[in-house]
Amino acid sequence: MLSPAARRGALIGLLMTGAAGGAFAQTTAAAKPDCFAAFSNWLNASAADCPLSDYGLTFYGTIDVGGGYETHASPFNGDSKTGVSELISKVNNRALWQGVPNGLSTSNFGVKIQEEVAPNWFVIGDVDASFDPISLAFLNGPKSLVDNNNVPLAKQTTNADSGRSTGWDNSRGYVGLSNATFGTLTAGRQSSFSNDLATQYDPFGGSFAFSALGNSSTFVAGTGDTELSHYNMSVRYQLTYDRFRFGVLDQLGGYEQRNNAESAYQFDFGGDLGGLSVDAIYAYAKDAVSLSNYTSGAPTPDTLKATLANISAEVIAAKYRWNAFTVYGGYQYARLSSPSDLFGATATANGQTLTLNGGYPAVVQANTYVNPKELQIAWIGGKYSILPNLDFDAAYYYIQQNTYTNAATKYNTGGSATKAGIGCGPNLDPAIAGSAPQGANAAACAGNEFALSAALDWRLLKRLDLYTGVMYSEVTGGLANGFIQSNNTAFTTGARLAF
């Protein structure tokens, strides 16, 4: 029997081949525009003005690579979604100069189809793969966790869970029908509405190097769980009427279809008026998965930890453009509560081993959310066009969680010892030998995180950007528990080529 990925690929391939075949039957192909006359012409024509299109197919992509310096860096990992962690994380430790992939946007390559099959009815499709331009590996968050399984924290490279893990369609792989009056219906692997919002309403467009929303999809894109930024098997409907838009996204199947929850759905409502755009999203997921690794004692080299939660979230965001200036802002509230199915786990004991995101086995952890976790995110920022081809961006991001400890919570008491029933207080246990204890004495204690960033983006040519900027991030309280350092300043410079 074909795997879910193979079935999805066969469906996409069949529809694309059929539609393209109809186009190949045309007696003449469209004449190439002047931008293909010379390489210099092509470089100075945008991908929209001069796409690599023929016979109903459009090939596209981006290569984004650079370098940078961080005061408390995490070593490069070519499997990780971000490659390096500009935003402070548990692994960030010491100052480093290193190559930086995907600073401004994700490197990718893909193919799209839009073919008219009846008057005003179009078959559409899109297959998009995100990759690391330094390692040339597909982005794969769970693989980055496995890379560091049974590795002491002080020796780990950059690693974090991610909704990207499927290889050739790790960003998206879908087909559907579109009509200007009746809307667009698509099926397959798709990004969540919240993921789209995190890109469209962020001054940095979801940049890994300069945006907390881009660097960690837990914030907004995944509505509290990074894996919910993509639905592996789903159906999505979108309708635009006048200045208003509506959308519904529904997950098909559960873990067996390599989805990152047993069920999930989202609704989107939005509209535009003059220079103002607003979108609001409601999201729900049952038994959503968050993966992490073992610093020691993993049952097998590729077995991970799985923390499950039921998640409900609301997100609202807006942007307003006035002449050369655009202001952005938004807010998310997410509530993570006990999962509907603990798969044998309790508040004090782990449960079954399941096969989850990326096909890796993972042990269901003791119920973390006996008392619900409330995660709030707010951001504000702006983009100013100094010149038609030169932008200055700046943004501030703020993250806050409540105290959600319970009777089984273990608090650090120093010397790697823990004890229940103490209550939240200063951490007494450093994450590694020689470092200072960070944050609170339990990860479930209240905590805050913020990031402040600024950057210049110079479009030297229509297909080529040169950029430079900085992001400072700091974490406190329960969010800093287990961290080696509590802050990081990341300077990044790079180039991005679109085709």
Structure tokens that stand for 208 in this block? 């890994």
304 by DSSP, 3-state: which?
strand
How many angstroms separate the CA atoms of 192 and 490, rounded? 28
How many angstroms separate the CA atoms of 393 and 383, rounded? 4
User: Which residues in the chain show pLDDT less than 70?
Assistant: 1-33
The distance from CA 333 to its chain's CA centroid, rounded to whole angstroms, is 17
Convert the pLDDT of each residue in 17-55 to its tens digit.
444 433 333 333 444 458 888 888 888 888 888 888 888
Are the C-beta atoms of 334 and 224 separated by less than 8 Å? yes
Structure tokens that stand for 209 in this block? 């190097």
pLDDT at residue number 7: 47
pLDDT at residue number 3: 53
Structure tokens that stand for 379 in this block? 């951001």
How many angstroms separate the CA atoms of 394 and 382, rounded? 6
Are the C-beta atoms of 189 and 127 separated by less than 8 Å? no
Convert the pLDDT of each residue in 65-104 to its tens digit.
999 999 999 999 999 999 999 999 999 999 999 999 999 9
pLDDT at residue number 305: 98
Q: Which residues contact 28 (CB under 8 A, 6 or more apart)?
A: none
Convert the pLDDT of each residue in 378-391 to its tens digit.
999 999 999 999 99
366 secondary structure, DSSP code:
P
pLDDT at residue number 33: 54
Q: Bridge-partner residues for 421, per DSSP?
A: none
Structure tokens that stand for 325 in this block? 């200036």
How many angstroms separate the CA atoms of 16 and 295, rounded? 45
How many angstroms separate the CA atoms of 306 and 289, rounded? 6
| DSSP H or E stretch at residue 143 | helix 141-147
Structure tokens that stand for 342 in this block? 């603990």
CA 383 to each of CA 194, 264, 279, 377, 451: distance values in angstroms, whole numbers, following the listed order: 21, 34, 19, 20, 17
pLDDT at residue number 39: 83
pLDDT at residue number 12: 46
How many angstroms separate the CA atoms of 175 and 9, rounded? 10
Are the C-beta atoms of 345 and 366 separated by less than 8 Å? yes
